[in-house]
Amino acid sequence: MANLYLNIYLKTVDMNAKNCPEQISLIKEYKLSINNFNNCNVGDLQCLIADEKGDWYDFYTNYFNETYYIDVYLIFTNYFNAIEQPVITEKLLNRLELFFDTIGASEIDNSINNSNELEEILNEDGFIFNITENGGGGELNDKEIEKIFKDYNIKYEIVSVNKLNNECGASGASANLIYFIANTVGAGIAYDALKFLVMSKMRFPSKLITSQQIDRFKFNMLRSAVADRVREDKKSLILIEMKQKEAYINFAFKANGKQIKVECNNDYKIINFKVFQENMSQNLKTGHH
């Protein structure tokens, strides 16, 4: 049994105005529990979106602990919005209802507890291993990475599998994978050794991906600081993305309808902090510290 949180957004781009400003609004929110839901179903869902919308949409997926978070942005320009948007949106929502009826979707399963799961993982002895794809080719495959771990008896837990498929004229895709690597007795592996192993076994050039080690203790302190700022229990923060850019590290979290974006320095001290309500388009809180 897996949980699915699916948000369908309308993104309108004003092509006639300077800098092409965007407006985003939530069209529909789904919270469902589905037996045997997996990556194949996610692919079917994207095909359904593409069939109704054609191009000009973004499809974000994030996976952790039998839970799929999917955000779909249907992109329209100001000219076509009034003409095409209502018809396409209505047809898409009708097909989604049929799709979920066909696969036996039901109410959300509250027994799947992501809060406790991530907390337990991060309290184990080990380190966090992050792999990011460069260039948007869509070549980085989480199943391929996990097969390498299994082949070499490396104990791991999935912290986040985050993917973007962009269909805006020229297609693009990228992935950001985060794993916890356990230091089990007799089977521990150092970060440098793991990085070399993964890079040497990948089926495409290593220059296309970036890997790094996240300091587990500093990350836990960061989670506590973020939770305090948004007045949430630390356990409710789900890590959905992490990227390093030179001297800065960018994190994205989800928590109870909020999306939190944090920019830190290499000591995990918060430099920039933003909170978005997932059913609203405006920025609710920003800060520089």
Alpha carbon dihedral 228, 233, 236, 239, in 10-degree steps, equals 30
Burial class (CB in 10 A: 0-12, 13-18, 19+), 113: middle
Residue type at position 232: E
CB 272 within 8 A of CB 263: yes
Side-chain half-sphere CA neighbours of 288 within 13 A: 0
**What's the pLDDT at 108?**
84
The pTM of this model reads 0.79
Task: Give the pLDDT score at 195.
Answer: 85
d(CA 127, CA 116): 18
Residue-level pLDDT, tens digit, the chain, 289 residues: 899 999 999 888 776 767 777 788 889 999 999 998 988 899 999 999 999 988 888 998 988 888 898 999 998 887 566 577 888 899 999 999 999 999 999 988 777 766 667 777 777 778 888 888 766 566 778 888 999 999 999 989 888 888 888 776 556 677 888 888 887 544 457 888 888 888 888 776 666 667 777 778 888 889 899 999 998 888 778 888 888 777 888 998 888 778 899 999 988 999 999 998 765 443 323 343 4
What are the tokens at 80? Answer: 């076509």
